[in-house]
Structure 1
Amino acid sequence: MDNVINANEAARAEAIGVLSDIELEATLQFGSREMPLREVLELGPGDVVELDRHVSEPVDLVIGDRIVARGEVVIVSGNFALRISEVAAPQLRLESIRCLF
């Protein structure tokens, strides 16, 4: 039985190795809000859309449709970046790519 488990683990590790160089799109999700179509159509320069998350709350790092980490927004070389404070379990992070295939 141990040989079967070890063979399965080896096959899984090999599959992960093959996939490890695939480029995935990472998105920072600051919050969300439902808006009626009317409001969307009326949007214009200078309008402000308020989201459901307080500025002090962590921001989500989303891959596919899964939250894989959370953290604080920082600036690095003039670009937004995320200082990670929480990371999802490895299995959940792997599940983030299922929707891409």
Structure 2
Amino acid sequence: MAEENTAKKLEDNPEDAVAEQNIAAAAADVVEDTRNLGLIMDIPLRVTVELGRTRMVVSELLNLGQGSVVELSKLAGEPLEVLVNNKLVARGEAVVVNEKFGVRLTDIISQSERVEQLG
């Protein structure tokens, strides 16, 4: 029955029929991706929150001592970067949660982009 409807639509308006087939194929891909995603849900990942970066030469590194201040490239108030396995997935701001540091996410990449970066 569905094949007859598709054949009829193909005769009446080939562009609509092709678009409908593409949508059906995309929906099938989403279902398959969801099944495949279930296989990796329990894999542990390294999550890092980066305050900033800097460069220094070996002599500067050797001169560091207790109380030394290392200047970072980011300005105060700039968003922190949240990295998963060294890939940027979000940005946020520092917060305190039960006397520990945390991050309130303010910007996050899409779920599909996050999954792509895992590979």
* TM-score, length basis structure 2: 0.73
Aligned to 1:54: 75
Alpha-carbon distance between aligned partners in 2 of 1:86 and 1:8, rounded to the nearest angstrom: 27
Tell me which amino acid in the other structure corresponds to 1:55: A
CA displacement 1:38-71 (0-9 Å, x = unmatched)? 2112221111101011111110110112111111
Alignment of 1:84 with 2:105, yes or no, is: yes
| Structure with larger Rg | 2
What's the offset of the Cα at 1:94?
Answer: 1.3
Greater percentage in strand: 1
CA deviation profile, 1:9-56 (whole Å, cap 9, x unmatched) = 222111111111212111110111111122112221111101011111
Q: 64, 69, 72: which one pairs with 1:43?
A: 64
Distance in 2, Cα, partners of 1:55 & 1:93: 27
SS in structure 1 opposite 2:105?
A: strand
> Which residue type is aligned with residue 49 of structure 1?
V
Q: TM-score, normalised by structure 1?
A: 0.84
Paired with 2:67 and 2:59, the residues of 1 have a C-alpha distance of 17
Alignment-mate amino acid for residue 88 of structure 1: I
Structure 1 residues without counterparts, runs of 5 or longer:
none
Deviation at 1:4, TM superposition (A): 4.4
Give the counterpart letter for 2:92 in structure 1. G
- Among all aligned residue pairs of Structure 1 and Structure 2, give the percentage whose two residues are the same amino acid: 31
4+ residue stretches of structure 1 with deviation over 6 A? Answer: none
Deviation at 1:5, TM superposition (A): 3.6
d(CA) in 2 for partners of 1:43 and 1:15? 48
Give 1 or 2: higher helix fraction.
2
Q: Note the residue ranges of structure 2 that are not aligned, 5 or more in a row.
A: 1-20
Does 2:66 align with 1:66?
no
Larger RCO, structures 1/2 (Cα 8 Å, 6+ apart)? 1
